[in-house]
Structure 1
């Protein structure tokens, strides 16, 4: 039997639980209530239990934080990712993971965090350059042949994407391995996007039809590489449609704004990139069945229509009855017609044969020869007469076309035009003079016939209320409103009935506003 080894030291032994408990008591006794200023990181809202777990950080360190459900309900504001706060609570440790943390009892905002401020500033800058313009975004192809994925080759994201694509529509997937966290992640992702866009179609390495940039969830610091300006510019300049699948649905980065489509999760990006093959096959089968059924119904309808038209058409015997009868009658008349035509042609031939006897032909030749001799004897004399007549005509026309007669003709035309010009001026003056005299006569006649001349001689016109002249006193009744129109104006009057003559009307004229009343004994006194 072996001997029990002796202890090499007299230092006391502690269990893990004893050390963890001692550290917990030391931290809690040394640090009572403390106030910590930091930026909220990794906040995902309250847990199902009502507690909230997140971190507080600055530019050099971070500390885990927890708010119990009772303290969470007493907060006067809603915590948000990246918000800078001042937390008051008690430091303690969590033995289960050897971490120290602060249990927050009170918390108040202290302003936006540095990372969030930088993120907002970068978002405004790139948005002003038009990198987030919706009009520049591309449509995803319906059935891509090759999908390029920019992500970590060892994470669960690529396995989820490949598994989802295989389930929906198996096709070729190209993976460009990059770091999705750390200082070099932004440059690697930008180089991967530019590298996929640099591939030529038909080359050794096929060019993808769709790109997926994917990463799992994380805090703002974990996803900071996808807010890099180089990544955003590479996404905006990509000629290949790009799907952003960075983080969970609640996470957002600048690459989501520049991408053509944003997916809530990497699995959702795979679902957006490819359709479901089974659904397409079912759709094609359904459309094929509908096409076959439609063609069958169409052929049935055409066949029924053809049968209906066939029933409406007459039979072949009915269609050929009249032509067959006409043919039989024509065939019966054909023999008689041929005999009659032959006899007629034989008679015409005999008549022509009698006219073409040698004696008659010789007689016709002699007559034509005599006519030719007569014309031959008359031809020289006729030519001489024709030439003499044409020469005379030519001489007369040549004399008429000499220079001197043309000059005389032009002189006569010029004189005639001058005479017409003088006569035109005289005629216009005469017409104007006649028109002026006629206008003066009409003007004098108008003044003579107008009642204005009568008014100038001291008379007046009596008008009823409608402006119509009154020609007889019997048309005036007592109390009628009248208008007396003189040469220089109008006067309003009222008719009154007289004592001597009932048919006569007396008019009592009111005094005008600006004119003196008419003197007694004038025409106005009669009314």
Structure 2
């Protein structure tokens, strides 16, 4: 066995070749031996490089490549570790990763299994933040039109922050001084890998509360945290957290860091506060100022009412100067007139009734039975006269009747349908009446209808019909002589 040969535990040496005592191993045995060697030697490494070729597989795993100016290394982040990363891998981002080196025997390649990932510096973090801001801005999440107005007088305020820091004490103290109201605190971690997920879950939890339930639904929310470095405030630049704030229907104020600190949620929230204490001042009015304002309004109301009453009193006094000194003097004349009218009312009603009774008696005398009888007699006489006139037919009617009888007899004598003795009606074979010789052709079958019967005959010959006389020319119209116009007589006007 030579010095540079290797022996693997648990392997069965193959039959040595002729002239060589070095045993042969399989490819898979060598590959897995190399895998164990890499994992034992490089069980925990910390690398710095630039991410390229990020591939998010449907299974949830993330495959990527880390490179620098001279070399590259494949990496993989298993599905269970993806959500725990402090930053999400993106192409072009410079990061520092921690993991172990292993190999992939199927391709004879080595890779790093990444357990954690962090930005290599503030510049890399800000570059990633700018790319995420541009993405959300293009989706319209920063538009002022989608932001909700804050309530003027909130009854319940929800605060999402750490329950042990100074931030919650400052917020509660400020609210207690300005506008005492019900405050609900949802405790979360405000730094580290799980901070963004907890804050997003708190926002969705407040959103799920129903009005009138056992836990009151807040009128406004505050996401608060004290100041810190870019890395400390980085959880508030999470994309999922920004989308949770954008989807929240409750007005939300972001109060993360100091006045100079800016995070991603400041752009999607409904209002940004410079500090957590400033968020409490934005959401709550000053109760003392409202009390003073109400007192001033009440004072002005009383003064206005007093001025109005005084003005009415002045006008009443000015009007009273034109009236008599005693009200009885103003009403005395009217009362006297009323007494006189009431005293005359009874006698006037009696006289009015007497006048109407007299008129009724006069009309009753005129409507006696004799008047009605005379009217009936006149109408009966007229009716008898008319009846006599109708019973005797007038002579004009008799003359008309005789004339009608004479005309009827003449019409019957001239009716061609009933020929008289000595006359006959000539008909063609189809029953058409023939009234002229020109209508009959030689040999044509004819029918002669007499008063006592019909005889069928045939025409043997005939004479040509004489030409019809030419119509006489119309008489010439007489021209009307128009008198010449009279000489000019001049204008009478």
Q: TM-score, normalised by structure 2?
A: 0.50
Q: TM-score, normalised by structure 1?
A: 0.47
More helix by share: 1
